[in-house]
Amino acid sequence: MPRAIWSGSISFGLVNIPVRLMPAVRRRTVRFNQIDARSGARIRQVKVSSVDGTEVPRDELVRGYEVSPDSYVIVTDEELAALDPEASRTIDVSEFVDLADIDPVYFDSAYWLVPDEIAAKAYALLAAALAESGKVAIARFVMRTKQYLAAIRPRDGLLAMSTMVYADEVIAADDLEGAEVLDAVEVSPKELEMAQQLIESLTEHYGPERHEDGYRQRVLDLVEAKAAGKEQPVIAPAAPAADTVVDLMAALEQSVADAKKARKRHPSAGSAKKTAKKAAKRPAKKAGKRKSA
């Protein structure tokens, strides 16, 4: 089970709700170590000087900020400590906003906020009030000498908190090289209509359980097979397709047609039709019985 990584309280107005912060996401990344192919030994990272290549002892390492090529300003641990935000055990709510007003690009890491037993009622009240109003709490808190901006929202009866990036950390669309090619692009009403039809034909209720990391599982299967002494055949990746000129309307029309066919073949489509037929028959039978009675 996940363990609390921070404890404190949510504070808004005169209300304080003691909580514990727990991770909401467990990364499933496959990690590899670098190995010496000659001996099978793990590689050890060594810090060396760029001037003479000699190894630098740990106690001789300092922080430097590059102000010009190969020119650094040295900053000590004590100087940085003096600039740390004031240590606090509160998540200070500054405002409440609509969730729809927050672009998802601002969300970073997700956590659960779990209440202390003595604060269960106040916690449940805040979660219910946020759910009823559709609002999200915007707050600041300090964890491990760093101040975070965060959004608190209700989820599954609990409060979830996502740390957020600041506005100046988001790369603006205007700063992207190559985006200017869109300035000369025109979309016709017919193309827009077909694109909307394709979107509608592929629209589903989002189910996260439908999406899996197939690559990670294939890597784990490969590792397991090799650990068991079974060599797996190496399949060369498919060559990238050559650039082709696409008839956009023809591609959209074919995509809509394919999506509609796929819908008809889906198992749920058949069961839905059967259910509809049964439902249509039931009223007729009941009406017939009432006539004969």
Q: Summarize pLDDT for 94-107 with one digit per residue, the tens.
A: 999 999 999 999 99
User: pLDDT tens digits, the chain, 293 residues: what are they?
Assistant: 778 888 999 998 888 899 999 989 888 888 889 998 999 999 988 999 988 989 999 999 999 999 999 899 999 988 888 887 777 789 999 999 999 999 999 999 999 999 988 889 999 999 999 999 999 999 999 988 889 999 999 999 999 999 999 999 999 888 888 888 888 889 889 888 888 888 888 888 888 788 787 777 888 888 888 788 877 666 666 666 555 556 778 887 888 888 888 777 665 555 545 544 554 444 444 434 443 33
CA angle (21 as vertex; 15, 25 as ends), nearest 5 = 135
Contacts of 153 (CB under 8 A, 6+ apart): 99, 130, 136, 137, 159, 160, 161, 162
| Of the candidates 48, 3, 37, 140, the residue with the CA atom closest to the CA atom of residue 85 | 140
Rg over CA atoms, the chain: 29
Instruction: Write down the pLDDT at residue 175.
Output: 87
Instruction: Write down the pLDDT at residue 137.
Output: 95
Instruction: Write down the pLDDT at residue 242.
Output: 56
User: Which domains are delineated in the chain?
Assistant: 6-27+84-168 (2.40.290.10)
Instruction: Write down the pLDDT at residue 269.
Output: 53
Amino acid at 100: A
Q: How far apart are the first and last CA of the chain?
A: 63
Distance (Å, rounded) from C-alpha 235 to C-alpha 81? 53
